[in-house]
Amino acid sequence: MGKVAFDFVSGGGDDFSPIGFASVSEMHVPLSKRQLAASIQAAIHIGDRAAIAAFISDEATAFSSYNPFARTYAGSQRQIWSGQAFEFRAASIASLGLPCLIRALGELPNDEPLVQEYLQAGPYRPYVYHHGDGCQIVGSVLHAKPYVALPVIPVRARSRRRRAPASAQIQLDLFAIPVPHGGANGAYQRQASA
């Protein structure tokens, strides 16, 4: 298995994190943008997942060479992004996914280890948090610089299944009550005359 140490972070091989994660190779699986976008698209708890996934898939978006919090904890990121939410409102910074990210981080224990993926394209920054495998996305946020609007992100429409013709569908009538021969009024009239 891996070792746990409290040493230096230098970003390669069997180096160890000062926050106690196992070896880097066990904590973080290198991802492609395509894998990351597909995982975000599958994370139904992220409200703006289609737009964020489309932005990450764009050719202009690239992984940043500088990612100071590649390995982090849910509690520290919750504190950071809660503060950012206030600053984003005050500085008119447009964002997508921020409320969902804060909610998801709030549901995790403070000491839950996470991996942060940091990408960029011009004045835009998407952040993605996962558990190290790239599949279980905790949350994601895309934001712009102050007073810069988010780009118009073309989101591919999903093809919808064709519905069967109405004549082929059987629908139950929940209010259908079997009535004895002669109708309900006939039964009532027989009881009244007896």
pLDDT, tens digit (0-9, with 9 covering 90-100), for 35-46: 999 999 999 999
Give domain limits for the chain.
1-29, 31-144
Distance CA 37, CA 120 (A): 14
Closest CA to 155 of 32, 35, 40: 40
Helix (H) or strand (E) holding 15: none
Reduced to 3 states (helix: H, G, I; strand: E, B; else coil), residue 84 is: helix
Q: Please tell me the total number of residues recorded for the chain in this structure.
A: 194
Query: Is the pTM value of this prediction over 0.85?
Result: no
Closest CA to 151 of 125, 114, 185: 125
**Better-scored residue on pLDDT, 174 or 69:** 69
**Better-scored residue on pLDDT, 109 or 154:** 109
Amino acid (1-letter code) at residue 43 = A
Summarize the chain as % helix, strand, coil (round to 5). 30, 15, 50
**Better-scored residue on pLDDT, 95 or 68:** 95
